[in-house]
Amino acid sequence: MPANKRQQGREEKRAELLAEARRLFIEDGYEATSMAALAKAAGVAGNTIYWYFTDKDDVLLAVLNAVLSDVLTDYRQVASAPLEDQLGWVVRQLQQMNRLVSTVHTRAALAPAIDEWHTHFHLITESLFRTALQQAGVDRASIDAEIKIGAFAIEGMLTHGLDDAQQRAICQRLAQQWTNG
């Protein structure tokens, strides 16, 4: 009997599963996406996912790593922009991933691997933020506090549903404070 489907390599199939998981986790949320729903969306048998991932948190970690890789690549385009624009860009990126952000915070308390990823994410983003603040001339003695203030402000903008004008005003005020000392 002739084969109707072309053969796929392991990495290609894994990438397809990952793309579907990313879409579903962002659109429907992690909790609302069962492994069976992921398999159906990817057009595979339910147990096929377990050939590529150990469990749902393993899928989540793969999605998070893919998203982080994409965002870090895209960040290069705004890294030399004014600080206000960089902050606004970060807020917009996180808003697009709001379900993933919420999932990470929820799952970090339950899954050590997600907690480890979350900690690593903060180290990376704080390092990038540190570089941006140093380039803006922020005093090294206060830079750690300024990084926390920035992170808390961004998290606040994400959790309180501020409109674009309010977000811009906050980003502008923070950048003004950091560049004018």
Q: Is 44 exposed, middle or buried (0-12, 13-18, 19+ CB in 10 A)?
A: middle
- Which pTM value belongs to this model? 0.84
Mark whether 105 and 165 lie in a shared domain. Answer: yes
142: helix, coil or strand? coil
* Domain CATH for 65: 1.10.357
Mark whether 91 and 166 lie in a shared domain. Answer: yes
**In sequence order, what are the residues at sequence separation of 6 or more whose Cβ sits closer than 8 angstroms to the Cβ of residue 107?**
30, 57, 60, 114
pLDDT truncated to tens, each residue of the chain (181 aa)? 445 555 567 888 899 999 999 999 999 999 999 999 999 999 998 889 999 999 999 999 999 999 999 999 999 999 889 999 999 999 889 888 888 999 999 999 999 999 999 999 999 999 999 999 998 888 889 999 999 999 999 888 888 878 889 999 999 999 998 887 5
Distances (CA, A) of 162 to 84, 91, 165: 16, 11, 8
Domain assignment of residue 18, given as a range: 1-53
Mark whether 45 and 68 lie in a shared domain. Answer: no
* Number of structural domains the chain divides into: 2
Mark whether 32 and 80 lie in a shared domain. Answer: no
Mark whether 32 and 87 lie in a shared domain. Answer: no
Mark whether 68 and 35 lie in a shared domain. Answer: no
Mark whether 7 and 92 lie in a shared domain. Answer: no
Q: Which amino acid is at 48?
A: T
Domain boundary among 13, 33, 53: 53
* Domain CATH for 45: 1.10.10.60
